[in-house]
Structure 1
Amino acid sequence: MTPPLALTVAGSDSGGGAGIQADLKTMLALGVHGMSVVAAVTAQNSLGVQGYWELPPEAVRAQLDSVLSDIGADAVKTGMLASSALVETVAEVLAGVTAPVVVDPVGVSKHGDPLLAPEAVGAVRTALLPVATVATPNLWEVEQLTGVKVVDESGLHEAAEAVLALGPRWALIKGGHLPGAPVDLLSDGTTEYRFAAERHDNRHTHGTGCTLASAIASHLARGEDVVTAVRLAKEYVTGAIAAGFPLGSGIGPVDHGWRSRESRLNFPE
């Protein structure tokens, strides 16, 4: 039988820890067939992003049309889109898709390197977020998109309201950079859900945001509702962070295959 289908529209990470590479690994780990539309190519390693090159809008549209016209998708996830032209192109296509859309409004890399042109922020606000089923900004992206600066957990509600005002059906505000135990807030403007997790003492967390958004899309593709998809995705990414490993001389990636490795370790001889 054909497994559930998830499509990622994002940038390529040559170091393999984030971007499309992380998305596809996550989808495979969660039992979903992953497909990809490459929007940009980065030169990237454990130390940071040395450069990136966006694809022409017609190349991105052609990839979208190719996959969606023949194969289709049970869920779509967007990540790094780099420019206004690409944001608008992707948003226009996804406006005609009935599958749920998870928007990770990527602005910077784990190392703080910019991955979205400053002039493209407006296009994310006005074109991309209105087609999102779930938007998953971190606190820096919340401030970039809405001007709301969150300094403690009490500010997550205001952040969610501000993001929801831009059009997504649900907003997941990621509070992992706040002090204390990490808490994320999911809201549809009526009901709020808080997801707490253990903070692991592990610096190797490259790809966390991409992995979480892709995990949510994967569970949506499997037919879960938004709240369940976020809960299951949080469980998966928390385990991946705990198992993150060193790579190169900088920040290593989370371990997308942690469950299969645990299964092998626990399998009796």
Structure 2
Amino acid sequence: MNIAIIGYGKMGKSVKKIAEIRNHKISLCSDKTPSLHLLKNSNSDVAIEFSLPNSAFKNVKICIENNIPIVSGTTGWIEKIQIIKEICKKKNGSFLYSSNFSIGMNIFFEINKKLSKLLQLYSKDYEVTIEEIHHKEKIDKPSGTAISLAKDIVNNKMKKTWILDEKKTKNQILILSKRLDHVPGIHIVKYKSQIEEIKIKHQAYSREGFALGAVIAAEWIQNKKGIFSMKEVLGI
């Protein structure tokens, strides 16, 4: 499979390493939105995109409009994803987005959904806090993964909204964001009442877990049409 890598920072380099281990050819490496000429001449079967929030929309759009399936893991641009989904439907394209491609993290999402659903009847008794810790180079805050975790809790009617690093009300989820040296990613979800505490945690030890998930997603999306997430890839 010929893979175009758009966004050639630390994640892009990890994707390249994993893709080559899995016997794929890297047809294009671009640290910015590729030109139409460059993209078409690359003969790419699929693109994997880990760039910056202000570049992601253009990167994904040019691939969909030119019939190249694209897997995107850039966070911090969620407000424009609905527009991309509409373009994808119009062009009969292929788009797969995840705020986190780690296989373990996607299972963690499902555990958190189940836990918040079970506690929904007791929502007034439990405070909910999400703590996320990442490396200092991470631009968006809170992480896309923390937002996804919070949205799942809100969708299960455990709480109404989330708030970042501020004093919260009983109906809000508090997200605490920290940026430290050399931390690929830690997420902790805590449900606490006056009598007990339930805590779940996911810790990534390197970027390779995210890269592996993205390459697996790229392998899966080839020859498929539609809008997908890691749920479909992993069958969960």
Q: Which bracket does the TM-score occupy, shorter chain normalised? A: 0.3 to 0.5
What is the TM-score with the length of structure 2 in the denominator?
Answer: 0.47
Higher relative contact order (CA 8 A, sep 6+): 2
| Structure with higher strand content | 2
What is the TM-score with the length of structure 1 in the denominator?
Answer: 0.42
